[in-house]
Amino acid sequence: LHGEMSSEEKRKMMEDFRNGKVQVLVSTTVVEVGVDVPDASVIIIEDADRFGLATLHQLRGRVGRSDLQSYCFLITRNTGEDAITRLRILEKTNNGFEVSEEDLKLRGPGEILGTKQSGIPEFKLTTLLSETDLKLLEIAREEALALIGNEVKWNKEHKKELINILKGKSREKISLIEVA
């Protein structure tokens, strides 16, 4: 089963699988969502390290939809620490929120105002409810005051210049948001 099949071909294949006419279904990730076959009890995911944790979690959710014991086998040739760490997360929990939190810790949040879906953003948002973030804000304030001391008087021109610098750094990202 794959995405280049016609809707009718996919529907017929899934119907045959659901009815037991087809015992084994070999598929791309097209089965990630919208497939409910309660009797499906085994899924084998090849090169599992190449998929995101959310995709693996969704694929794993295609089995275990009945009282039958189900199994999800994650196959990988990559024995690197990052790959194994990611796959162990799926071994540890079935909770989608926990999977998402761990993925966020590993890959970073990406950009709020941009196109990067992972990694550490250039500008970080903070929460004023976090003691750690509040402490960091206080340290940043003290450092900024120590840098400028009493010698620099901020006027409207300084403020305008700073705003233009920040706008320049995020202009492309903001224009993407405006288009969307």
Q: What is the pLDDT of residue 180?
A: 45
When pLDDT is averaged across residues 138-143 and rounded to a whole number, the result is 81
Which of the 8 DSSP states describes residue 103?
H
Helix axis angle for 81-92 and 53-60, nearest 10°, is: 40
The helix (H) or strand (E) run that includes residue 170 is helix 156-179
Q: What is the pTM of this model?
A: 0.65
How far apart CA 22 and CA 30 sit, in angstroms, is 17
Q: What is the pLDDT of residue 70?
A: 95
When pLDDT is averaged across residues 144-171 and rounded to a whole number, the result is 70
Here the tokens at position 10 are: 């996919």
According to CATH, the superfamily of the domain at 7-107 is P-loop containing nucleotide triphosphate hydrolases (3.40.50.300)
The answer to whether residues 87 and 52 touch, using CB atoms and an 8 Å cutoff, is no
How far apart CA 87 and CA 76 sit, in angstroms, is 9
Q: What is the pLDDT of residue 144?
A: 77
Burial status of residue 95 (CB atoms within 10 A of its CB: 0-12, 13-18, 19 or more): exposed
Domain boundaries, the chain: 7-107, 131-179
